[in-house]
Amino acid sequence: MRILAALALLAALAAPAAASSNRAFMDAMFGPPAGAELTQRAPVHQLQYQTQYVRHPMFLRQVVNYQTHEAPGTVVVDTRRHFLYLVMPGGKAIRYGIGVARLGFEWSGTHRVTDKREWPSWTPPTEMHARQPGLPRFMPGGPNNPMGARALYLGSTLYRIHGTNEPWSIGQSVSSGCIRMTNEDVIDLYRRVQIGTKVVVI
């Protein structure tokens, strides 16, 4: 009994440290860049970020087994599961957690990456202004821009795979059709994908 009690005490003492270490890891992956200020309210300047971040491990970037008929180098966007796959040889893929279109804005199809931009600007389309009249007409690239750190443009559509200044939205269906990634993940994908890459959205 004494041994069991001692083991229980050790486990209780270790739990807070493990939880703290896990939280620090998740904050490093999904949190704001160094020097940013955390706030529980809406950000009011370029170095302020909200404190809610994605914390589920399944949305961390990782290599997974992935069977597909698509060739290596193809990007497959699984909107129902909130994952983006970059197909690799040997039945593998790099899997990224994503945010996708909300109800009524879903779409699917096959396109090519036609442009790539770092810290892209944002010009909300007319349809978006009709739904949200308070949006700016134009927003330059930067930390407060909803387009995030990188953007991949898909064919002649208005849709893009891009970063986000709302990393807590990863794993959710919240956008007007674009595919969101954390800034860390979209930077990684941007380095691996070239103009002309095939993108399959299912």
Domains plus CATH for the chain? 57-201 (2.40.440.10)
Tell me if residue 162 is catalytic: yes
Buried/exposed 11-42: b ≥16 CB within 10 Å, e otherwise: eeeeeeeeeeeeeeebeebbbbeeeeeeeeee
Q: Single out the catalytic residue among 45, 69, 129, 178.
A: 178
pLDDT at 106: 94
Q: What is the structure's pLDDT at 123?
A: 84
The verdict on whether 178 is a catalytic residue reads yes
DSSP class of 153: E
CA distance 135 to 2: 65
Least confidently predicted of 3-17, 37-51, 97-111, 158-172 = 3-17
Segment 35-76, tens digit of pLDDT: 666 676 666 776 666 554 555 889 989 999 999 999 999 999
pLDDT score recorded for residue 127: 78
Whether the pLDDT of residue 2 is over 90: the answer is no
Write out pLDDT tens, residues 191-202.
999 999 999 999
Dihedral sign from CA coordinates of 63, 65, 68, 71:
positive
End-to-end CA distance of the chain: 56
* Whole-number pLDDT of residue 52: 46
Nearest to 91 by CA among 69, 114, 113: 69
Q: Give the pLDDT confidence of 146-160 residue by residue, as tens digits.
A: 999 999 999 999 899
pLDDT at 46: 62
Q: Distance of CA 71 to CAs 17, 66, 67, 126, 173, Å?
A: 44, 12, 11, 37, 28
Tens of pLDDT, residues 79-90: 999 999 999 999
**Which 8-state DSSP code applies to residue 9?**
H
Residue that has been written with the tokens 């978006």 in this structure: 128
Residue, of 176 and 33, whose pLDDT is higher: 176
Q: Summarize pLDDT for 112-143 with one digit per residue, the tens.
A: 999 999 999 988 877 777 777 877 888 888 88
Catalytic residue among 45, 56, 111, 162: 162
> Which has more pLDDT, 13 or 100?
100
Three-state SS letters, 41-97: CCCCCCCEEECCCCCCHHHCCEEEECCCCCCCCCEEEECCCCEEEEEECCCEEEEEE
